[in-house]
Amino acid sequence: MKITDFKLSIIKSELKKPFVTNIRRVDAIEDVLLTLITDDGTKGYGEAPPTVAITGEDIGTIEKTIKERIFPAIKGLELGGNDIFEALHASVTKSTSAKACVDMAIYDILAKSANKPLYEYLGGKAKTLRTNLTISLGSPEVMLKDAIEAYNDGFSVLKVKVGTDKKECVEAMQSIRAALPSAILRVDANQAWDAKTALDIIESIAPLGIELVEQPTCAEDLAGLAEITAHSSIPILADESVFDYEDAVRILDGRMADYINIKLMKTGGIYEAIKIAALAKERGAKVMMGSMLESVVSISAAVHFAMSDDNICFYDLDGPLLAKPSSVKNALIFEKDEITVSECIGLGVKL
């Protein structure tokens, strides 16, 4: 079976409320949607969100990269084996969201031709994942209100986005903890702090019982990240500092973080994510399956992948929950904070 053709379109869904972090604000999901077509007519689907602030890609660059670089490199190659994925990764530097979009469409086709759901094709079993819900950065009062609302809607794991202001961050976390004594709280600084500020804040919020602190420092400040990890009483999770396998080796072998966040949009898809997850397992580092602000196609890929590895034990897959329902049919069942996959083959996506 060979890849012979492709189509690009856009998948859109309005957000229920704006998504705000230390580095960006988004009002609607508007992602590239790919249909990859084989010589026997099988279709595989992929999605890539434009996340300029993180991967450097917008809709135009994702489409252009797929059209002019990746597709010509994989067209006509035989599916099965690693060659097609090696060609995909060699076709262009970086461009990880464009690569992820094509990679998941190939995996969709491979699982379909094996007549299996993708998680089973990847060696996993169906299970229920419990996703956290993201609380956007805002004033401590608004964050508290959003956190209480989310908890009352059935989300017991909250990932709270915080910013550079130490006082506001500590105040927000204290008031959320006081209102929600049994919630699991994660903090994501999205690179907001330097090492000293991070350790100050961590000392102030540690008594509140915080599960993990994500990406405290600038992605490139690995020395800062290592210093924080060495002295923090809360486990540190690296996100923007880990894109590919080489990054994961550097971070884990250099003890620069306790946990790592794998996102298909950073790894360039499942092929590379498998290698990173295996490395993390070998090094005893727990993994979060993360996502950008994505819709149901790429979140399906992330869910199937997360089900393939027991060491992936934190889930940040709330994109579809933050948006109004998408028109794309899919096999994901969201019940409060639980995600399960209904019977399907491949990714379970139908356009």
**Residues of the shown chain interacting with Mg ion in the complex, contacts defined by CB under 5 A:** 188, 214, 239
Nearer to Mg ion, 160 or 183 (CB): 160
Nearest C-alpha neighbor of 147 from the set 172, 117, 116, 110? 172
Is the Cβ–Cβ distance between 92 and 69 less than 8 Å?
yes
Name the catalytic one among 99, 112, 263, 266: 263
Query: Closest CB to Mg ion among 188 and 221?
Result: 188
Tokens 């053709």 sit on residue = 5
CA distance 47 to 182: 35
The span from the CA of 286 to the CA of 314, in Å, is 8
Beta carbon of residue 303, minimum distance to Mg ion (angstroms, whole number): 18
SS3 167: helix
Catalytic residue among 64, 161, 286, 350: 161
According to DSSP, residue 131 is labeled -
> Which of 110, 228 has the CB closer to Mg ion?
228
Instruction: Name the closest residue to Mg ion (Cβ).
Output: 239
Task: Examine the residue annotation and report whether 266 is marked as an active-site residue of this protein.
Answer: no
- Sheet strand arrangement including 338-341: 129-130, 338-341, 332-335
Annotated catalytic residue 196: no
The least CB distance from residue 280 to Mg ion, in Å, is: 16
Pick between residue 234 and residue 344 the one whose CB is nearest to Mg ion. Answer: 234
Based on CB atoms, which residue is closest to Mg ion, 31 or 188?
A: 188
Q: Nearest distance from residue 267's CB to Mg ion, in Å?
A: 14
CB of 277 to Mg ion, least distance (A): 17
Instruction: List, in sequence order, the alpha helices (H) in the chain.
Output: 52-55, 59-65, 71-74, 83-90, 96-113, 118-121, 140-152, 166-179, 195-205, 222-231, 245-253, 264-267, 270-282, 296-306, 319-322
CB atoms within 10 A of CB 182: 7
In a 10 Å sphere around its CB, with 0-12 CB exposed, 13-18 middle and 19+ buried, how is residue 25 labelled? exposed
From the CB of 247, what's the least distance to Mg ion, in Å?
14
Q: Are the C-beta atoms of 341 and 126 separated by less than 8 Å?
A: yes
Radius of gyration (C-alpha) of the chain in whole angstroms: 19
Residue 222: beta bridge partners?
none
In the bound state with Mg ion, the residue whose beta carbon lies nearer, of 238 and 296, is 238
Q: How far is the CB of 91 from Mg ion (least distance, A)?
A: 27
- Which residues are identified as catalytic? 161, 263
